[in-house]
Structure 1
Amino acid sequence: MAEASVSESLSRARERLVAALSAAGRPDDAAHLLAVSKTKPADMLRQAYIAGQRAFGENYLQEALDKQQALADLDDIEWHFIGALQSNKTREVAEHFDWVHGVDREKIARRLSEQRPAERGSINICLQLDVSGEASKAGVELQALPALAESVLALPNLRLRGLMALPAPSDDPEQQRQAFRQVADALAMLRERFPEAPLDTLSMGMSGDLEAAVAEGATLVRLGTAIFGSRPPAGS
């Protein structure tokens, strides 16, 4: 993809987000884009950065660390780890990322807290809520969410910001909204239970369901292909 294409695609993605916010009766700055840049080279991220994008989401740790090194001169870039996080990778994530989306176990949260370098300050955490009920999907079940949130809030180097979710794909806008409404309701429950916590983030929505997610209160929407173009098939 040419340099101009990244900028143009990002502009179109922003226009789509603003249109969704307007349709939902929300301010233009009520939600932001998280540019999902997995499998994309550092120079494409740099072009998005030049076009004003600051938050980038990565799934693959080593690939992300290589990009961070290549883009080390961009001191206000914000790195989000959004993949499934295994115990043996928590140290490098704690050392090199600003956000972690998808924490669904106290063990992972505890390791991130213990391994976070003091000079980096607290790491922002989104708990992953299971809204699909699929055994193969990660996420904490709703009934276990308050206990996990309480555990995370007690850890010294973490800042619990909110929830993220990956609902089962659907082409039905109402079904999409119902899934996202569950996440929004869960966050409202946590806010009531933990009023001192900075619970301001709903990380939900992708290219196929952005409008439904924004209608239900998403504050961070994950877009990859819409900004950077298609990815090669897995295993290619």
Structure 2
Amino acid sequence: MEELQAKLAGCGNKLIKGKKRIILCVTVTDMLRKMSTEASSIAQKLKTVLDKIQVASDKRPQALQYASPLLVAVSKTKSLDMVIEAYDAGQRHFGENYVQEVEEKGHDIELLDHCEDIKWHFIGRLQRNKVAKLLGVPNLYMIETVDNERLAKAINDTWGRLNKPAPIKCLAQVNTSGEESKSGCTPDSTLELVRYIKDNCPHLDLAGLMTIGSFDHDPKAGINPDFQTLVQLREDVCKALNISTEKLDLSMGMSADYEQAIVMGSTIVRIGSTIFGARNAPQSKATQEEAAEQAKEHEQDKSTQEEAVKSQTSKMKNLSID
């Protein structure tokens, strides 16, 4: 890079015949300048976010001061260069929404060589037929979106067959807002899912709870009820399992509301656009297909759950009649 910059620096001092060559020199110089600006911008934005995380953390009650919040930089649709720039600025935990994308990034030779201790968090809707592919990604650290027993079993069985030295960390995702477009178990079924993972999935390390929450809530309007719900659920789960709340993480808070989430007790925040800028890169065809498959499976799971509820309701009615 330095050699290229040196050559380009002297380009304007030479008599160059041919307009195309002159234009090329100017264009590449501008490109290098832009790359340098973007790099410093990512580092600066990362520092700003970390500073705000610290300020918000200091505002928490003493009972919540036991751990510093973990920043997961959401690199969905972002280039490898941007991931590496953030890594060079000290960031280690990165979040991805699609198996196809994290697989491509995770197996990239340059990234593997340069970012030896990068840690990937999967934060998107996970299809059971893509579990094996996801678990094959190098440096996979955590799956934050386990929202039903069948998915938990699929991850557990696959990880077990890989003979890994330690369980894979996971979070139980809760749909605290009740929106049909969002994944997650219901608040009422959270304890049941947690118990299932604890009792039946020895290859999963249940590290906590996760929620996305409603995008419509304005932090200026007051406390986010979705965050309140997750905080209370952790209390209920820990009481039922007789464990300390410090043993379960809360992954809640994104670019628009992470400061409030931290004050309320979040230990993991997922921030993308504030660090990397708007997600304006087009999705690959494979990623688009994966998104469509995710939506289809979500509808199928929803239908299955509705049928199960109807069946249970019918059984209860029959029992009451008898």
Residue aligning to 1:24: 60
Return the TM-score normalized by structure 1. Answer: 0.92
Residue aligning to 1:229: 277
Indicate if the aligned counterparts of 1:95 and 1:115 stay in contact, CA closer than 8 A. no
Q: What is the rounded CA distance, in whole Å, between the counterparts of 1:187 and 1:142 in structure 2?
A: 10
Q: What is the rounded CA distance, in whole Å, between the counterparts of 1:42 and 1:13 in structure 2?
A: 21
Using the TM superposition, give the Cα deviation of residue 174 of structure 1 relative to its aligned residue in structure 2, in angstroms. 5.0
Residue aligning to 1:101: 144
Q: What is the rounded CA distance, in whole Å, between the counterparts of 1:11 and 1:31 in structure 2?
A: 14
Residue aligning to 1:219: 267
Residue aligning to 1:165: 211
Q: What is the rounded CA distance, in whole Å, between the counterparts of 2:248 and 2:91 in structure 1?
A: 20
Residue aligning to 1:65: 103
Residue aligning to 1:191: 238
Is 1:41 aligned to 2:86, yes or no?
no
Percent identity for Structure 1 against Structure 2? 34
What secondary structure sits across from 1:33 in the alignment? strand
Using the TM superposition, give the Cα deviation of residue 63 of structure 1 relative to its aligned residue in structure 2, in angstroms. 1.4
Instruction: Give the unaligned 5+ runs of structure 2.
Output: 1-34, 285-322
Q: List per-residue Cα deviations over 1:29-83 (Å, max 9, x = no partner).
A: 5212100001011111111111111100001111111111222122321110000
Return the TM-score normalized by structure 2. Answer: 0.69
Indicate if the aligned counterparts of 1:55 and 1:77 stay in contact, CA closer than 8 A. yes
Using the TM superposition, give the Cα deviation of residue 135 of structure 1 relative to its aligned residue in structure 2, in angstroms. 2.1
Counterpart residue type for residue 76 of structure 1: D
Number of equivalences: 236
Is 1:92 aligned to 2:137, yes or no?
no
Alpha carbons of structure 1 residues 234 and 220: separation in structure 2 relative to 1, 3 Å:
same
Indicate if the aligned counterparts of 2:77 and 2:283 stay in contact, CA closer than 8 A. no
Using the TM superposition, give the Cα deviation of residue 177 of structure 1 relative to its aligned residue in structure 2, in angstroms. 2.8
1 or 2, which has the higher helix percentage? 2
Deviates more, 1:82-91 or 1:189-198: 189-198
Residue aligning to 1:137: 182
Larger Rg: 2
What secondary structure sits across from 1:137 in the alignment? coil
Indicate if the aligned counterparts of 2:219 and 2:257 stay in contact, CA closer than 8 A. no
Q: What is the rounded CA distance, in whole Å, between the counterparts of 1:127 and 1:199 in structure 2?
A: 14
Deviates more, 1:16-25 or 1:195-204: 195-204
What secondary structure sits across from 2:56 in the alignment? helix
Counterpart residue type for residue 107 of structure 1: R
Q: List per-residue Cα deviations over 1:156-202 (Å, max 9, x = no partner).
A: 11000111101112114455432211101101111111235883210
What secondary structure sits across from 2:247 in the alignment? coil
Q: What is the rounded CA distance, in whole Å, between the counterparts of 1:171 and 1:128 in structure 2?
A: 22
Residue aligning to 2:155: 112
Is 1:6 aligned to 2:42, yes or no?
yes
Alpha carbons of structure 1 residues 167 and 176: separation in structure 2 relative to 1, 3 Å:
farther
Using the TM superposition, give the Cα deviation of residue 207 of structure 1 relative to its aligned residue in structure 2, in angstroms. 1.1
Is 1:207 aligned to 2:255, yes or no?
yes
Using the TM superposition, give the Cα deviation of residue 21 of structure 1 relative to its aligned residue in structure 2, in angstroms. 1.2
Counterpart residue type for residue 44 of structure 2: E
What secondary structure sits across from 2:197 in the alignment? helix
Instruction: Give the unaligned 5+ runs of structure 1.
Output: none
What secondary structure sits across from 1:53 in the alignment? coil
Superposition CA RMSD, Å: 2.1
Residue aligning to 1:127: 172
Indicate if the aligned counterparts of 2:219 and 2:260 stay in contact, CA closer than 8 A. no
Could you list the structure 1 runs, at least 4 aligned residues long, displaced by more than 4 angstroms after superposition: 25-29, 233-236
Counterpart residue type for residue 49 of structure 1: Y
